[in-house]
Amino acid sequence: VERMKEMAVGLSKKVKKIVKDDPRRVAHCFKVGLALTIVSIFYYVTPLYEGLGVSTMWAVLTVVVVMEYTVGGTLSKGLNRAFATLLAGSLGVGAHQIAVLCGDKGEPILLGLFVFTIAAGATFSRFIPEIKARYDYGVTIFILTFSLVAVSSYRVEELIQMAHQRVSTIAIGVATCLGTTVFVFPVWAGEDLHKQVANNLDKLATFLEGLEAECFGEKARCENLESKSFFQVYKSVLNSKPSEDSLFNFAKWEPGHGQFGFRHPWKQYQKLGALSRQCASAMDTLSSYITTFPKSQATATDVELRLQIRAACAEMSSESAKALRELSSAIRTMTAPASANRHVAASLEAAANLRSALSEDVALSEIVHLAMISSLLAELVLRTAGIAGS
Amino acid sequence: VERMKEMAVGLSKKVKKIVKDDPRRVAHCFKVGLALTIVSIFYYVTPLYEGLGVSTMWAVLTVVVVMEYTVGGTLSKGLNRAFATLLAGSLGVGAHQIAVLCGDKGEPILLGLFVFTIAAGATFSRFIPEIKARYDYGVTIFILTFSLVAVSSYRVEELIQMAHQRVSTIAIGVATCLGTTVFVFPVWAGEDLHKQVANNLDKLATFLEGLEAECFGEKARCENLESKSFFQVYKSVLNSKPSEDSLFNFAKWEPGHGQFGFRHPWKQYQKLGALSRQCASAMDTLSSYITTFPKSQATATDVELRLQIRAACAEMSSESAKALRELSSAIRTMTAPASANRHVAASLEAAANLRSALSEDVALSEIVHLAMISSLLAELVLRTAGIAGS
C-alpha cells in the first residue's frame, strides 16, 4: 500500500509538471476528444450513416492518426494522407484493370507482383533523406492504400464506389482535424520555433552575465559555480536540435498566421539554432575548464597584466551578453537589432586588444598559446578517462 | 530535357550512396514486399478468405504500419499494436454493454462521452516522457481501437464476432512481420547500437592520432588542418544522439541474439555515447581554437619549455588515442580492455607533469590560467559574432 501511495504521488507530481510546462497540452487533449466526438456523429445520425456505410470507420481512423499537437504537424499528416490515398487509390484501380485482362488464374499472380514491386520501391524511397523528412507518412499511406485497393479488388465487386466512399471519409476526417487544430486554441509550430530560438539566445546571455558577475567582477570569487543556476542553463541548448528540426519541418507546412507570412524564412531559424549550439558547446568547454582546474592564487607579480586580462574578460562577456539579449529581443519583436553590432564590435575589440597586449611579450605569448592547446588537450584527456572509467 | 537528365543523374547517385552506405536496406525493401505478398494470400485463397471476410484487410494494414527496419522496431510496434488492440477492444465491448442499458436515446450520448474521456485521457498520457518513448504507438492504437469498437457497436450486430476476427487478423499481420524480420536477413537494433558506439570511439581516436601527427610531431607544421580528413571526423559524433536513442529504445525490445543476451546492459551504451559526445564537443573547441588563432612564430626564447609542452601534448594525444582504440576494440570483441587503463594513466600523468612544470613559475602559471580563460571567452565572442552576423 505504501509503495502504491508513493507511486501515485510521483505520478501526480509528473502530471502537474507536464501541465505547468505547457498548459496548451490540456487543450490539446480536449481537442482530440472533440474531433473524435464530431466524426462519430456520422455513425449516430442515420441519414449520414446510410450515405457512407461501413467506410465511416475510415473517418475515425483518420482523426486518430492525423491529429497532432501543432497545426503544421496536423496539416502535414493530413495532406500527406489525402494525396497519398488519392494517388495510390487511382494506381490501385489501374492495376486491377490490367490484372483483370489476364484471366482468373493470372489475376492474383499479377496483383501480387504489382503489390510486391510497388511496396519494395516505395519502401526504398523512404531511405532518401528529403522524402523521409517531409513525406514519410505519405509513403506509408501510399503503400497501405495501394495494397488494400489492389488486393481487395480481387474480391470486391463495386470497386469504384468503395474507392469513392473511402476518399470522402478520409476527407471528412482530415477536415475535422484541421478545423479543430486551426480554430480551437491553435498551436503553431512556427511560433514555437520562433520562441524557442529566441529563448535559447537568452539562455546563452544568462550564462555570460552570470560568468561576468561571478568571475570577472571586482569582488568576484569564481567559487561554487556548479551550484549556481546560470551555470547549467546553456546545457538545454546543446540538446535542442531534435525538437528544433521537427518544429522546422512542421512550420514549413503552415499557412501564414499572425506575424508570420506564408514564406517566412524558417531556414534562418535553423541556421541560428546551429550557431547557438556551437556557442553552447564552447561554453561547455569553458565551464568545465573553470571547474576542473583550481584557481591559481593571486600573487604580487605582474598585477597590471592580470588586471588587464580580467577587465578584458569582463568586457568580452558583458558585451557579448548584451549583443545576445539584443538579438533575442529583436527576434521576438521582429525588428532589426538596434545596437547588437555595436556590442559585438566592442567585444571583438576587447578580444583583439587583449591578444595584442599578450603578444607584446613574444616569448610569453608563445608559451600561452602552447599552454592553451595543452590545457584543452588535458581537458580531452580527462573526458577520455571518463569514457575508460565508465 | 537537360535539367531532367541532371536530376536523373543526381537521383541515381543518391540511390547508389544509400545502397552503399548500408546494403541491408535493399534486403529490407524486399522483405516488406514479401510480407505484404504473404498476407495477401489470405485474400486470394477462397477457404482462408471465408474464415475472416473483410477483416482480412486489417492484416494488410498491420503489415504496412508495423514493418520496421530493425527487429526491435518491428517487435515494439507489433507488441504495442497487439496488446493495445486487445485491451481497447475489451474496454470497448464493456462500454457498449453499459451504454445499451441506457436505452435508445441515451446510448449514443453515453458512447460519445466514453470516447471523449478515454481519448482525452490517453492523449494526455502521451506527454509523459516514459510513455512517449516506449508506448506512443500503443496509445495511438488504443485510442483508435476503442473509438472504432465503441462507436461502431451502435451499428454492428455481431460485435463479438467482429472483435474476434479483427484480433485474429492483427495477430496474423504481426506474426507475418515478425517472421520476415527475424528470419530473413535480420537487422538487430542492438547490434547496430553496439557497432555505432564502438565506431564513434574510433572516430575520436582518429582525430587525436591525426592531431598528434600534424601538430605535435617532430616535423609537424599544424597547417591546412581544415583540408585534412581526420579534422572533420569527430563532427558526426556530435549529432549521434537521436539515432543512438532510437536504437537504444528498440534494442530493449529485442530477445537475446548472437553475442547479446536477453538482459544485455544497453544502458551502458547510452552512457558511453553521452561521454563520447562530451569528448567530441571538447574536440570541437580545440580544433576551432587551433584554426582561428594563428600560430605564433617560433622564437629562440624558452626553447626548453616549448619543447616540453609539445612533448606533453604529443604524449597526451597519442596515449588517449591508444586508450580509445583499445576501448573500442574491447567493445567489439566484448572483452575487458587489456591496457586501456595504462594508457589513460600515462596520458593523465603527462597532463599532470605539464601542469606542475608550468606552475613552477608561479607568475607565469597564473597568467597562463587567465589567458586560457580569456582565449576561451574570445572563442565564444567569435561565435556570438557569428550569430549576430547571420
Higher pLDDT: B259 or A83? It is A83
Question: How many Å is the Cα radius of gyration of chain B?
Answer: 30
Structure ipTM: 0.86
pLDDT at B206 over 80: yes
Alpha-carbon gap: B21 to the closest alpha carbon of chain A (Å): 11
Helix axes A362-389, B303-333, angle to 10 degrees: 20
C-alpha span between A272 and A268 (Å, rounded): 6
pLDDT at B242 over 60: yes
Give the pLDDT confidence of A182-230 residue by residue, as tens digits. 988 899 999 999 999 999 999 999 988 888 888 777 766 777 777 788 8
3-state secondary structure at position B260: strand
Q: Percentage of residues in chain B with pLDDT exceeding 90?
A: 24
Exposure on the CB side of residue A365, measured as CA atoms within 13 A? 16
pLDDT band with cut points at 50, 70 and 90 for residue B305: confident
Question: Each residue of B208-217: pLDDT tens digit?
Answer: 888 888 877 7
pLDDT at B167 over 90: no
A285 and chain B in contact, CB less than 8 A: yes
Residue B92 phi, psi (nearest 5): -65, -45
Give me the pLDDT at residue B299, please.
57
- Convert the pLDDT of each residue in A327-361 to its tens digit: 888 888 888 877 888 888 888 888 888 878 777 77
* Per-residue pLDDT tens digits for B110-131: 888 999 999 999 999 999 988 8
Cβ atoms within 10 Å, residue B149 = 24
Distance to chain A for B92, nearest Cα, Å: 14
Percent pLDDT > 90 in chain A is 25
Task: Provide the mean pLDDT of chain A.
Answer: 85
The answer to whether B276 contacts A387, with C-beta atoms less than 8 Å apart, is yes
Copy the grid coordinates of residue B116: 471523449
Q: What integer pLDDT is reported at residue A369 of this predicted model?
A: 74
In this model, does residue B182 exceed pLDDT 60? yes
> For the CA atoms of chain A, what is the radius of gyration?
30
Q: What pLDDT is attached to residue B196?
A: 92
Report pLDDT for A168.
87
Whole-number pLDDT of residue B122: 94
Q: Give residue for cell 558583458.
A: A318
Q: What is the DSSP letter of B226?
A: G
In chain A, residues with a C-beta closer than 8 Å to the C-beta of B275 are: 383, 386-387, 390
For the ranges A169-183, A286-300, B50-64, which has the lowest average pLDDT?
A286-300
The three cell numbers of residue B166 are 479483427
- Contact flag A347-B144 (C-beta cutoff 8 Å): no
- Give the minimum alpha-carbon distance from A255 to chain B in angstroms, rounded to a whole number: 25
Query: CA angle at residue A208 from A202 to A212, to 5 degrees?
Result: 140
For B337-358, the pLDDT digits (tens) are 778 888 888 888 888 888 787 7
Average pLDDT for A49-64: 84
A236 vs B359, residue with greater confidence: A236
**CA–CA separation, B144 vs B61, rounded Å?**
13
Confidence class of residue A248 from pLDDT cuts 50, 70 and 90? Answer: very high
Q: Do A316 and B377 touch (CB under 8 A)?
A: yes
Contact A289 B376 (CB under 8 A): yes
pLDDT at A261: 80
pLDDT at A390 (0 to 100): 66
Contacts within 8 Å (CB) and 24+ apart, A154-161? A154/A107, A154/A108, A154/A111, A154/B43, A154/B44, A155/B43, A155/B49, A159/A93, A159/A96, A160/A93
Amino acid at B70: T
Beta bridge partners of residue A257, listed in sequence order: A260
- Establish if B1 touches chain A: CB-CB under 8 angstroms: no
Residue of B nearest to A268 (CA): B390
Q: Which positions in chain B touch A125 (Cβ < 8 Å)?
A: none
**Count of alpha carbons within 13 angstroms of residue A120, beta-carbon side:** 17
Locate the chain B residue with the closest alpha carbon to A204.
B384
Q: What is the mean pLDDT of residues A56-70?
A: 90
Report the candidate in B350, B280, B290, B294 with the shortest Cα–Cα distance to residue B317: B350
Instruction: Provide, as residue numbers in chain A, all residues whose Cβ is less than 8 Å from the Cβ of B85.
Output: none
pLDDT of residue B248: 92
pLDDT at B82 over 60: yes
- Percent of chain A with pLDDT strictly greater than 70: 96
Between CA B314 and CA A221 the distance in angstroms is: 34
Q: Using the beta-carbon criterion (under 8 Å), do B344 and A154 form an inter-chain contact?
A: no
Q: Which residue of A has its CA nearest to B353?
A: A378
Cα distance between residue B349 and residue B357, in whole Å: 12
What residues contact A215, with CB distance under 8 A and at least 6 apart?
A: A222, A225, A290, A313, B373
pLDDT at residue A96 greater than cutoff 80: yes
Q: Which residues of chain B make contact with A378, given a CB cutoff of 8 A?
A: 316, 351, 354-355
For residue B142, the tally of other CB atoms under 10 A from its CB is 26
Question: A260: which strand partners?
Answer: A257
Q: Inter-chain contact B285–A281, Cβ cutoff 8 Å? A: yes
Q: Does B10 touch chain A (CB under 8 A)?
A: no
How many beta carbons lie within 10 A of that of residue B380, not counting itself?
A: 27
CA–CA dist B31, A151 (Å, integer): 18
- Calculate the CA B369 to chain-centre distance: 39
Contacts of residue A29 in chain B, CB cutoff 8 Å? 119-121, 123-124
Exposed e or buried b per residue across A168-191, where buried means at least 16 C-beta atoms within 10 angstroms of its C-beta: ebbbbbbbbbbebbeeeebbbbbb
C-alpha cell at B373: 580563460
Is some CB atom of chain A closer than 8 A to the CB atom of B185? no
Provide the chain A residues 359-378 that lie in CB contact (below 8 A) with chain B: 359, 362-378
| CB contact at 8 A, B370 and A357 | no
Distance from CA of B376 to the nearest CA of A (A): 6
The mean pLDDT of B239-254, rounded to a whole number, is 89
Give the chain A residue whose CA is nearest to the CA of B126. Answer: A29
Provide CB contacts within 8 A for B277, sequence distance 6+: B237, B238, B240, B241
User: What residues 315-354 of chain A have any CB closer than 8 A to a CB of chain B?
Assistant: 316-317, 319-320, 323-324, 327, 337, 340-341, 344, 347-348, 350-351, 354
At A362-373, the pLDDT tens digits run 667 777 777 777
- Does B242 sit within 8 Å of A239, measured CB to CB? no
Kindly determine whether residue B380 and residue A14, on different chains, have CB atoms separated by under 8 Å: no
Q: Dihedral, CA atoms, B372, B373, B379, B381, nearest 10 degrees?
A: -150
DSSP B257: B
Residues of B in contact with A269 (CB under 8 A): none
Query: For chain A, what is the total number of helices (H) and then of strands (E)?
Result: 15, 0
Buried b / exposed e over A34-63, threshold 16 CB at 10 Å, is: bbbbbbbbbbbeeeebeebeebbbbbbbbb
Record: contact B112-A293, CB cut-off 8 A: no
d(CA A340, CA B25): 49
Q: B76 exposed, middle or buried (CB, 10 Å; 0-12, 13-18, 19+)?
A: buried
- Cell numbers found for residue B368: 597562463
* Higher pLDDT among residues B262 and A32, named by residue: A32
Q: Minimum mean pLDDT among A256-260, B64-68, B238-242, B357-361: which range?
A: B357-361
